[in-house]
Chain A
Amino acid sequence: MGQSPQEALVIGIGAVSLAAFLLAGLCQLLRIGRVWRALLVPGVFLAAYFMAYGKVPSFPPVGAVNKIFYIALLGTVLGLMVDLAGKPRLASLLMALQPVAAALYIGEARLRAAPIEVLGAAAAGFAAMWLMRRHREVSTGEEGMRRALVLAIAALGFAPIALLGASSASLQLCLIFAFAVLATLVWNLRNDDYAFGTSSLLGGAGGMIAVVYAVTLITRKTDLLALAVWSLIFLVPSLSDRLPWVATRKGKVVRLVAFALFCAVPAVCATAIAVLSYGSSFPI
């Protein structure tokens, strides 16, 4: 799959993004229900995982990297079941529990040595998920697209932090995931039919949070200042509601572009901090 990591990355981004784009279009064409269309986001996460690590890990998973896959898969299945059953309270409970359970599961090896770090990560993951699911009762397509944009830009922003934190596979996963999520948005720019359901949150966002856990808790080379700045991305939806130049723009596409640019600010700042504070030559 490509002669160099760069080629593999480009092929991975191209293949998964194209597949995501075509599937999103097919879903529109066939008028697939929202609950099933919401599977696109966790679907591309699992595909990105497969492209980055070149495997479906065996079960039960051995090690943090392999656990990521099953956290996302379980989140996807539970999210789908909850959406099919129409149980919003159960969905909220699962969204609260999943980041905490994932932190304990991935950080298991560090629970005795550094319980504060694991619990801190769990709290941060919980906060990120809580901010992502904010206004969940608002089920417009535009709100769903905003959530997908937050997730895609968070993945884009975390990619260089992961690389400089000694995880080139996480860089690949994040970039493939980010571009593929963006590809799913294209068909919905002119309508209000984008679906971002519980499965998208538990499978897609939950999977992405698990990647951050693995890099920070297990590889433990993450630039914490860059990570803190990066996490501000999750505050953008709340803040953007109060900013006229984002919230009250005429035209959905213009509003979404303004929102995406706002999201990109902490991502770019975090990347700059990570690069500047990296005390060595680039690891290639």
Chain B
Amino acid sequence: MLKLTRAYLVSTVLSTLLLAGQVEAKTFDIDIVHSSMAFFIDHLGFSRVIGVAKEFGGTFEFDAAKPEASSLDVNVKVASISTNNTQRDSDIQGADWFNATEFPDITFVGKEFKQANENTGSIVGDLTIAGVTQPATLDVVFNKEGENPWDKSHVVGFSAQTTVKRSDFGMKSALGMIGDEVRLYIEIEGRGR
């Protein structure tokens, strides 16, 4: 009986310690299977062409109790950008656009993390496209943090969006025809290490 009581106490203490550890800043890897990046760009005012990035990755540190201490580092493979048209996808890899030969990656490094409301905030960071780095602000919604019931992994999820001007990154081709403003929509799930 004494042994059982001791075992119960030890397991309770350990569980408490482990749970306490979960609210501290944790490093997450972006789960590509449950994350998406899409952009919308105007075509002659008639419609918005939708593009997606198929290959990206990165890590972030996050503590829901202290979001301003977070970090974020994301990398997108330019070669994986798709707009549902092979010809156009090939064209935008060229020197007038993303210049994938010289600059195969788009990166975003978070610098400043601000909480606005209970589950919203913003991330100001350096966005680098085609070798040009400009500040960008992501408007972020914190969706949920918890355990994935399937594999018991620790997961956190966010939605984010921002608007950038492609001309700020030196992409000025066909500005009269294709919009300058690019709206970005991001859905991210991170798996705790």
Contacts and interface: CB of A to CB of B under 8 A. Distances in A.
Are A and B associated in one complex? yes
Interface of A: 2-5, 7-8, 53-55, 57, 62-66, 108-110, 165-170, 214-215, 217-221, 280-281, 283-284
A65 B90 contact: no
B177 A219 contact: no
B26 interface: no
B99 A110 contact: no
Nearest to A64: B95
B87 A283 contact: yes
User: What DSSP secondary structure best describes chain B's contact surface?
Assistant: loop
B134 to A, nearest CB: 12
Given A5-B174, A5-B177, A109-B102, A219 B96 contact: yes
Nearest to B102: A109
A138 to B, nearest CB: 37
B48 to A, nearest CB: 18
B177 A218 contact: no
B116 interface: no
Chain B, interface residues (CB within 8 Å), range: 20 to 34
A170 B170 CA distance: 14
Given A3-B176, A7-B176, A63-B102, A167 B87 contact: no
Contacts of A170: 96
B132 interface: yes
B176 A167 contact: no
A168 B172 CA distance: 10
Interface string B92-122: 0111100101110000000000000000000
Contacts of B94: 165-167, 218-221
A54 to B, nearest CB: 5
A218 B172 contact: no
Contacts of A284: 177
28 contacts: A2-B176, A5-B177, A54-B167, A54-B172, A55-B170, A55-B172, A62-B130, A62-B170, A63-B102, A64-B95, A108-B102, A109-B101, A110-B101, A166-B90, A166-B91, A166-B93, A166-B94, A167-B94, A167-B95, A167-B96, A169-B96, A219-B93, A219-B94, A219-B95, A221-B91, A281-B87, A283-B87, A283-B88
Contacts of B143: none
A211 to B, nearest CB: 10
B173 interface: yes
Given A62-B131, A63-B130, A283-B87, A214 B95 contact: yes
Contact of A280 (B87, B95, B101): B87
Nearest first, the 4 closest Cβ-Cβ pairs linking A and B are: A219-B94, A166-B91, A62-B131, A166-B94
A168 B167 CA distance: 15
Contact of A218 (B87, B99, B173, B174): B99
A252 to B, nearest CB: 40
A64 B102 contact: yes
B170 A63 contact: yes
A165 to B, nearest CB: 8
Given A54-B172, A62-B131, A66-B170, A4 B177 contact: yes
Contact of A53 (B91, B130, B172): B172
Nearest to B101: A218
Contacts of B167: 54
A283 B170 contact: no
Contacts of A65: 95-96, 99, 170
